Amino acid sequence: MDIIRYRNNVWGEEVILGVSWDLLWVVAVTAFLLLAAHAIFMAALAKKKAKPSSEGKRVNRHDAIDRAFHWIMAGSVLTLIFTGISPIVGIRISWLNIHWIAGLILTFVVIFHTIRALFWQDFKSMLLGPNDFKEPFDESVKPGKYSFEQKGMHWAMTVLVIAVIATGLTLFTHIDSPWWERPSVDNEGTLGIFFLLHGTATLALIAFTAIHIYFALRPEKRFYTRSMVTGWISEAEMKENHDPSKWKAE
Amino acid sequence: MSSHDNMPEMSLYQPVQVEDAIGIATELAGRGWLVGGGQDTYGWLKDRAKTADALIDLKGIESMRGIKETADGIEIGALVTLTEITRDPIIKERYSLLAQAAGRVASPQIRNVGTLAGNVSQDVRCWYYRRGLNCYRAGGNLCYADTPEGMNREHAIFNASRCVAVTPSDTGPALVALEAQMVIQNASGQRVVPAEDFFIGPNLDIRHTTILRPGDILTAVRIPAKWANATFYFEKVADRNAWDFALVSISAAMRVNNGVIEDSRIMVGAVQATPRRLTSVEQAIRGKPRNESTANSLGNLASSDANPLNYNHFKMPLMDNLVKRAVRGQA
Amino acid sequence: MTYMHIGKDFTPPDVEGKVTGAARYAEDFKKDGMVFARLLGSPIPAGRVVSIDASAALAIPGVLGIFTADDLPPAPPPSNPALAKEWVTYIGQPILAVAAESDHLAEEALSKIVVEYQRRPFVVDPLDTLTEGGPDPYPNGNTLIRNAGEAAAGTTASGTDVGRVKWSIDQVAAFRAGREPVGAQFGDEWSYGDVAARFAECSTVIEEPFVTIGQPHHSLESRTGMAYWENGKCYFHGSLQSHTVGHDALSAMLEIDPANLVFINENTGGGFGSKIFPYPMMAVTGRFARKLNRPVQLRITRAEEFYIGSARSGMQGWIKIGLKDDGRVGAVDVAIVNDAGSGGGGSASSSAEHISIMFQPEAMRFRGLAMYTNTTPRGAQRGPGQNEMAAVLAPMIDKAANLAGVDRVAMRRLNAPRMDGKIGARQGGISSSYMPEAIDKAAQMFNWDQKRSLPREISATKVRGIGVGQGFHTAGSNGYDGLIRIAPDGTIYLHTGVGNLGTYSYAGVVRAAAEALQCDWDNCVVVHGHGDLNLPHSTYQGGSNTMFTETRSSHVAALDVIQKLKEIAAAEFGGAADDYSIGGERVFRTSDSSKGMSYGEAAQKAIAMGGKYSGMEYPDDIHRTTVRSVQAMQGTGLIGVAKDTLPRSGAVPGMAIAFCEIELDKETGKFDIVDYTAVAECGTVVHPKGLRQAMNGGGIWGFGMAGFERHVYDPQNGLPANVGLYQSKPPTYLDVPVHMNTAGNDMPDPQSPVGARGIGEPAQGCAVAALMSAIADALDGHLFNRTPVTADMIINHVAQNGFNTGNLKTNTF
């Protein structure tokens, strides 16, 4: 199994073509096994806790616009993943236009989200600090608005999405679009490195997306998913999982 | 850069039953290569631009030969040669469009061995791709032809999606015009696909020109009676009148009653990766007399949404002109 | 004059083999123990070889060795090396050869050899490298310079080097746009007469740019060779147009005494200028065989033939033509930049020469420059220079004639060379010219007067075009040897060192000897094609040269035979040699025919007499190749041998005039040639069928040059688009007329004993010119200013969509 695909360029020199798509299956199987192991562990061995009630007073967790950003981002990422891997796995759809349109949507939403998070939201609530790293090892330490895992997932997704966007936009300039015609490629090796980075970031993104979805669907985390739909969590859920002193809920 | 003119060493299978061929093709999957007349195959393999572990020679399969009448038209075996098509009395009488198209393929020598299935299944002729470069169609990251300085005179003016190669088949557009059905067999059984859906562009699959997948064998082509004895027009414009691929070709089937076009199917070859159907033209001429005036009224309708490259703008007026000739019925 | 053989059809001895397939070419020869060598070519357009790792290939059982540039004498630029190392200058350039027990193994070995390259900048457009700041195809420049005899170390072309010429951006822009590049530097210039003064006298002056695109030779027989060594001798089966004239050069390539080379080449499947002399790859075949001590067949594939098989030089130019009131050409000013490819050459001066002889301008200036590019090496191709100039010039001349109000044919006749015609820079004379008569004959055959008044419009979409064009090439030389042996049984062996390049000229020329000997052709044997068959030193076969040159040498050898026959008879029957005559293959006393003997009996006497009669003695002035052949035949019969010292002065012009009628479809850009008529002005017709072959074959290639064939290079990566035969688009049977009307003017040249001149090249030049003229005529005189004119260009022109108006370039669409 290869990690990187190589091909000869126009002059017979070996250059990087991109990531080996054998890794797609490695990622898929590995993610599945890890998540299955986690699910089994949680079901069989993890300490069962009482589920806090969703009734009672509600605490606003996500504004409507943020929820919209999230779901547009989610839709874009899933569309990008599906359209990106469909030709690799032999699904014949007219994928390319959908792919770059979804990519542009993702790009714009990420930009909007970033601006909003920096200037209109409590940006600090998403920052990872030294104290956050105590959380997994000390049950008494509860997080503020976002848990260590949530911050970790957020920043991992941030890095990966920025990576796929940056490399994707570069690759986008190499195909015909309504605004330009594709240029000559001076260095196929450089182009190949961009494909490699795009592919590698995509593989990681697929893995993290799978993890993200898995946790979103887990019973003990499902109230977060609900909050991403409805905007609120209950006060009980908040107190059970968060430290109200660190999260000044509105 | 090495240049070759010997066939590479590879296994050779010579099944005499379709089922056996399917079995071998399925087992070998992407490592096997189906060959009929070999007119596309041998160049690829001898040049080492493509490779395979084994050749599956279909020529021994009798059931894939012959032209027979059916309850609704005719069925042409996949291995029927292009010369046989040009000489078949039924095809000449009822489906002369196909006979004309087959008669303009390549050269007499190639038509004598080249098959109908091979002609419709052949790969594109983009010279960059044929050279063995690792372009999009070859699994690479770029197209060498569609660049500011690419030499793309013969390439697509419609529906390019990264790859700008065109369908080289002369008979493909004719078959789509005749609403032919492609009979495909694989290990799961047989399926019949309209010719229009048989050809696929790079937007759907940049590595293939047809819907055939490893393990699929195109065993026959059925032509329904619908367009039998219709009014046909075929013309292929190529640099040379023999041994050349079309710059643009047109295959038109029309039902003309009292000089009025009641229905038509107008197909153009070599302007995109698949035969291009001109539905706007079909609609525009429906109910109109088949004459110069109707032809001229089309203007540049056929090419109006073309997206030419550096060197192939000529295909737009050429295509419009061929459409006019088809509609007025004379060169 | 009534001839026995001259002007009569005959069946050349190789025809049967060609028809039945029995004819053998170099690749058909096998030898016990023969191994197969194949080439590895460069994938880069410019750079150098850093390292070669063949260890994996050599580890394959049956792979015998590799042969690289290090095995050859150094060949720095501007020479065109057989194998490149420090100066890789085009994609496909051979880097090494590998030999194996089988062809398959050799091909497998190729894929195992790892060559590391260092890339350099490259260029495929001659004007791009000419522009200041533009890339150079060689590290040290972009053009050939002559340095007064100081040869670069190891170069084959002494006194030459690679230098650099650059024009300013404005000069190149002006040139591309069809204006004179004022003040630009050229490499080659000549002029005669007062050009400015003559232009001032002209009432019609046109200025036009032009471009012709080079095209590969794509000889049907690739240049495969097979060599083996026995007892210190090299036996070489090769593919050349010429035969013995290449002997010394090939010996030098192999660094052996010419006496130790046996070159065998019975049939040649086309050369068209690319195989006139031994080419670099032959050194690899012979030397590799010596290195391995095994017979080696170095097989050249179709694609390799494209790369190393030479190509016509493309040219880009500007011309100014002035006509006086009466239609005479007063002055011409022409500037040409050739694409010399890699290590090749241009033919600009020859292009100008075409103008000078065909239109006899009163004053003329020529400036030329050949730029190297990182494309295939360019060399002579059928009428190099002259034919591409004929192609682009014809419609321009038409334009000038039309502007001047003179009939196009009448204008050509008025300006055509006559017996006192002049040619080229020095305005030297010519051996003869009956061009006005040829024009009259062709015009009558074509029915020009009637056709020129035919309506141009045939239908709503089809238009008629009629065109006229001329072809020219110098067509003769002298100074070669003739050799004849009459065996004791009376058989007459006509030895010729002329190659059998497919034109039958090797057999045609010795008919001059049969004519002089007044012998039955059935008693003659044409001896050719094998170095062991004792061949004389004969002419190179290029430049329509063979017929004039070798009928002369055949003739002088026959005269020598006749003189010896008479002397032998005189010795037998008394009297002086002058008292004897020949006839009926006998030599006899003129006054008493009973006193005589047959040629066979004379041959027996010659053996007995020895000395010069049986080749024991021979003239001092014959070439050493001929000397060896005579020595090998000593005492085997009556030997006639002589060097052609017949008087000759001036250039020998091969000329032709053609007319073409086409029906052009404005909707498809396609045209049908409905009438093609051509007359060769080639002196006496020696072999009517051979002439027809030459005129038809040349004509068809002319059609290809006009409408189809061209080099196409991708300027982004230096890749050629048409390495395959089908991609190069030579015309097919459906692209040419079924009937082509050709004839010879059949008026004898006084400097040939049988009146013959050659016609190979002009047969193509007149055809391409006539067709280009007809295309322009069909489109109301529109000038494309380039060849070929392809269907897309015609469609774009008719559609007026503006896509033909970009900068004219060679090597691209």
B286 burial via Cβ count (<10 Å: 0-12, 13-18, 19+): middle
User: What residues pair up with C588 in beta bridges, in sequence order?
Assistant: C581, C596
The pLDDT of residue C155 is 45
In a domain, C78, yes or no: yes
The pLDDT of residue C146 is 79
In a domain, A68, yes or no: yes
Q: Pinpoint the alpha helices (H) of chain A.
A: 22-44, 64-89, 95-119, 148-172, 188-217, 222-230, 235-241
The pLDDT of residue A240 is 83
In a domain, A35, yes or no: no
Cβ distance of C729 and B324 shorter than 8 Å: no
In a domain, C555, yes or no: yes
Q: Pinpoint the alpha helices (H) of C4-161.
A: 15-20, 55-58, 103-112, 126-130
The answer on C495 and C467 residing in a single domain is no
In a domain, A232, yes or no: yes
In this structure, what DSSP letter does residue C801 have?
A: -
**What are C570's two structure tokens?**
């005189």
In chain C, the percentage of residues whose pLDDT exceeds 70 is 98
CB C714 within 8 A of CB B150: yes
In a domain, A71, yes or no: yes
- Would you say residue B44 has pLDDT above 70? yes
The Cα–Cα gap between A189 and A193 comes to 6
The answer on C655 and C629 residing in a single domain is no
In a domain, A58, yes or no: no
Q: Residue C156's pLDDT band (boundaries 50, 70, 90)?
A: very low
Average pLDDT over residues C130-157: 78
Q: What is the mean pLDDT of chain B?
A: 96
In a domain, A7, yes or no: no
In a domain, C11, yes or no: no
Q: Residue C262's pLDDT band (boundaries 50, 70, 90)?
A: very high
Per-residue pLDDT tens for A196-207?
999 999 999 999
CB C399 within 8 A of CB C467: no
In this structure, what DSSP letter does residue C370 have?
A: E
Cβ distance of A176 and B160 shorter than 8 Å: yes
Residue of B51, B136, B142, B149 to mutate, testing the A interface (most A Cβ within 10 Å of its Cβ): B142
- For tokens 């977060």, name the residue: A224
Cβ distance of A184 and C119 shorter than 8 Å: no
In this structure, what DSSP letter does residue A147 have?
A: -
- Would you say residue A136 has pLDDT above 80? no
Q: Residue A119's pLDDT band (boundaries 50, 70, 90)?
A: confident
Average pLDDT over residues C220-233: 96
B151 touches chain C (CB under 8 A): yes
B51 touches chain A (CB under 8 A): no
Average pLDDT over residues A8-28: 94
- Would you say residue C139 has pLDDT above 50? yes
The pLDDT of residue B179 is 98
Distance from CA of C674 to the nearest CA of B (A): 15
Chain C CB contacts of A13 under 8 Å are: 43, 117
The answer on C345 and C286 residing in a single domain is no
B157 touches chain A (CB under 8 A): no
Closest CA to A107 of A48, A183, A166: A166
CB A222 within 8 A of CB A234: no
The Cα–Cα gap between C696 and C738 comes to 11
Q: Residue C140's pLDDT band (boundaries 50, 70, 90)?
A: very high
CB C84 within 8 A of CB B1: no
In a domain, A117, yes or no: yes
- Would you say residue C649 has pLDDT above 90? yes
The Cα–Cα gap between B146 and C55 comes to 39
Per-residue pLDDT tens for A143-183?
888 888 888 889 999 999 999 999 999 999 999 899 998 88
Per-residue pLDDT tens for B154-204?
999 999 999 999 999 999 999 999 999 999 999 999 999 999 999 999 999
Per-residue pLDDT tens for B293-327?
999 999 999 999 999 999 999 999 999 999 999 99
The Cα–Cα gap between C117 and A243 comes to 65
Give the residue from chain B lying closest to A99, CA to CA. B203
Q: What CATH number has the domain bearing residue C277?
A: 3.90.1170.50
Per-residue pLDDT tens for C570-617?
999 999 999 999 999 999 999 999 999 999 999 999 999 999 999 999
Give the residue from chain B lying closest to A171, CA to CA. B141
B146 touches chain A (CB under 8 A): yes
Q: Residue B285's pLDDT band (boundaries 50, 70, 90)?
A: very high
CB B139 within 8 A of CB A15: no
The Cα–Cα gap between C446 and C439 comes to 10
Q: Which distant-in-sequence residues (6+ apart) come within 8 Å of C773 by Cβ?
A: C394, C395, C398, C408, C466, C467, C468, C469, C660
Q: How many domains does chain C have?
A: 3
The pLDDT of residue C542 is 87
Per-residue pLDDT tens for C90-134?
999 999 999 999 999 999 999 999 999 999 999 999 999 999 999
Least confident interval from A103-112, C63-72, C144-153, C387-396: C144-153
The answer on C521 and C437 residing in a single domain is no
In a domain, C603, yes or no: yes
Closest CA to C768 of C705, C709, C810: C705
In a domain, A55, yes or no: no
The pLDDT of residue C805 is 56
What is the domain extent for residue C30?
A: 25-120+242-256+263-298
B144 touches chain C (CB under 8 A): yes
Q: Pinpoint the alpha helices (H) of C48-122.
A: 55-58, 103-112
Q: Which distant-in-sequence residues (6+ apart) come within 8 Å of C432 by Cβ?
A: C419, C653, C683, C747, C748, C749, C750, C751, C757
Decide if the complex's ipTM is over 0.85.
yes
Q: How many domains does chain A have?
A: 1
The answer on C352 and C457 residing in a single domain is yes
Print the SS3 string covering C610-634: CHHHHCCCCCCCCCHHHHHHHHHHC
- Would you say residue C154 has pLDDT above 60? no
> Is the entire prediction scored with pTM above 0.80?
yes
Per-residue pLDDT tens for B73-95?
999 999 999 999 999 999 999 99
- Would you say residue C157 has pLDDT above 70? no
Q: What CATH number has the domain bearing residue C507?
A: 3.30.365.10
Chain B CB contacts of A176 under 8 Å are: 146, 160, 162
Out of C643, C675, C693, pick the residue that ends a domain.
Answer: C643
In a domain, C132, yes or no: no
In this structure, what DSSP letter does residue C311 have?
A: B
In a domain, C808, yes or no: no
Per-residue pLDDT tens for C264-289?
999 999 999 999 999 999 999 999 99
Per-residue pLDDT tens for C52-61?
999 999 999 9
- Would you say residue B251 has pLDDT above 80? yes
Q: What CATH number has the domain bearing residue A180?
A: 1.20.950.20
What is the domain extent for residue A112?
A: 64-241
Chain C CB contacts of A184 under 8 Å are: 716
Print the SS3 string covering chain B: CECCCCCCCCEEECCCCHHHHHHHHHHHHHHEEEECCCCCHHHHHHCCCCCCCEEEECCCCHHHCCEEEECCEEEEECCCEHHHHHHCHHHHHHCHHHHHHHHCCCCHHHHHHCEHHHHHHCCCCCHHHHCCCCCHHHCCCCCCCCCCCCCCCCCCCCCCECECCCCCCCHHHHHHHCCCEEEEEECCEEEEEEHHHHECCCCCCCCCCECCCCCCEEEEEEECHHHCCCEEEEEEECCCCCCCCCCEEEEEEEEEECCEEEEEEEEEECCCCCCEECHHHHHHHCCCECCHHHHHHCCCCCCCCCCCCCCCCCHHHHHHHHHHHHHHCCC
- Would you say residue C447 has pLDDT above 80? yes
Q: Residue A134's pLDDT band (boundaries 50, 70, 90)?
A: confident
In a domain, C744, yes or no: yes
The answer on C371 and C269 residing in a single domain is no
Distance from CA of A171 to the nearest CA of B (A): 9
Distance from CA of A189 to the nearest CA of C (A): 15
In a domain, C8, yes or no: no
The Cα–Cα gap between B221 and C489 comes to 71
Neighbours of chain B (3+ CB pairs under 8 A): A, C
Q: Pinpoint the alpha helices (H) of C577-669.
A: 599-609, 624-633
Cβ distance of C43 and A184 shorter than 8 Å: no
